[in-house]
């Protein structure tokens, strides 16, 4: 564990402690207490950025949890092993793309002038790229990009969790008259609930860190997307456009606390780390 601990200290704990120090001081190193937090909360861009990420997180978590679990159950219980393996491989492929590359693919797909799905886009009332990038559509667009790149890996994880369920348990359920969907709802899903909670924690954490997608869309749309759409973008603007690293650190700690509170609630309510005693 020593190697992991060193990396955790170097790239996790120490940077976090430094961010705490920056958020409690000004650019001259003077202690300001909660001054930096009050300052960024008073910024007119703070509320919209966190509202945007809140809407995105609700859509993202519902989609990633429901669809990955349902897909994994279908692959495990309703398909032949060979065909299931092919589909798992296909689902995993988009995750091999780097974040920037996946956004560029979606930029191509969402432009009615060049997209192979141009007919569908126009049928939905989108005739121009600007209409697609309307602010009200952005949470859905970012969720589609994130799901396309991230769902495949989680489907594989959920499939592996389902494989740990004994065939005897499922056979007993069939003998008791449970069909495929009842077995999934009352046996398989409850027995992998800890894995689902684990996925929820990591999906929430990654969702709060949204940056690459809105940043690239902001550039590609020539400013139609706000440069401070997400809290991470706002922190970036504070740090690298205003030179206010103290304010940026305060925003990062807001995100850290948000993630820790969510993880804490899920862990305590689900008993994620509870050890079953025989």
CATH of the domain at 259: 1.10.3720.10
pLDDT for the residue numbered 139: 94
Q: Are 94 and 149 in contact (CB under 8 A)?
A: yes
Show the domain range for 76: 35-104+140-270
pLDDT for the residue numbered 142: 94
What is the number of alpha carbons within 13 Å of residue 181 lying toward its C-beta? 0
What is the number of domains present in the chain?
A: 1
Q: Which of 34, 14, 16 lies closest to 25, judged by CA?
A: 34
Q: Where are the beta strands (DSSP E) in 59-144?
A: none
Q: Are 68 and 148 in contact (CB under 8 A)?
A: no
> For residue 232, what are the CA distances in angstroms to 36, 217, 227, 242?
16, 15, 10, 14
For the chain, report the end-to-end CA distance as a whole number of angstroms. Answer: 28
Alpha-carbon gap, residue 229 to 11, rounded angstroms: 26
Task: Per-residue pLDDT tens, the chain, 278 aa: give them.
Answer: 899 999 999 999 999 999 999 999 998 989 999 999 999 999 999 999 999 999 999 999 999 999 999 999 999 888 888 888 899 988 888 877 766 788 888 888 998 988 998 899 999 999 988 889 888 899 999 999 999 888 999 999 999 999 888 888 888 888 888 887 888 888 899 999 999 999 999 999 999 999 988 998 888 888 888 999 999 999 999 999 999 999 999 999 999 999 999 988 888 888 777 765 54
Please report whether residue 13 resides in a domain: no
pLDDT for the residue numbered 275: 62
Please report whether residue 144 resides in a domain: yes
Q: Which residue has the tokens 């601990």?
A: 5
pLDDT for the residue numbered 95: 77
Per-residue pLDDT of 12-23, as tens digits, reads 999 999 999 999
């Amino acid at each position: 564990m020593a190697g992991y601990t060193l990396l955790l200290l170097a790239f996790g704990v120490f940077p976090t402690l430094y961010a705490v120090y920056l958020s409690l001081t000004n650019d001259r190193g003077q202690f300001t207490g909660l001054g930096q937090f009050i300052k960024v909360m008073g910024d007119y861009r703070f509320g919209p950025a966190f509202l945007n990420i809140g809407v995105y997180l609700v859509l993202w978590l519902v989609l990633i949890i429901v669809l990955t679990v349902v897909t994994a159950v279908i692959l495990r219980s309703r398909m032949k092993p060979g065909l299931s393996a092919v589909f798992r491989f296909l689902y995993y492929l988009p995750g091999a793309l780097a974040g920037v590359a996946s956004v560029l693919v979606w930029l191509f797909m969402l432009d009615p002038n060049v997209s192979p799905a141009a007919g569908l886009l126009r049928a939905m009332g989108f005739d121009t790229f600007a209409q697609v990038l309307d602010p009200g559509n952005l949470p859905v667009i970012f969720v589609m990009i994130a799901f396309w790149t991230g769902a495949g890996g989680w489907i594989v994880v959920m499939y592996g969790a389902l494989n740990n369920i004994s065939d005897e348990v499922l056979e007993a359920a069939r003998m008791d008259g449970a069909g495929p969907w009842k077995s999934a709802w009352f046996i398989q899903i409850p027995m992998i609930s800890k894995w689902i909670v684990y996925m929820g924690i990591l999906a929430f954490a990654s969702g709060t860190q949204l940056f690459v997608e809105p940043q690239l869309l902001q550039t590609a749309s020539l400013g139609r997307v706000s440069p401070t759409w997400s809290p991470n973008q706002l922190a970036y603007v504070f740090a690298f456009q205003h030179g206010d690293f103290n304010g940026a650190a305060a925003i990062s700690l807001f995100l850290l606390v948000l993630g820790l509170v969510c993880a804490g609630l899920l862990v305590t309510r689900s008993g994620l780390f509870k050890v079953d005693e025989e």
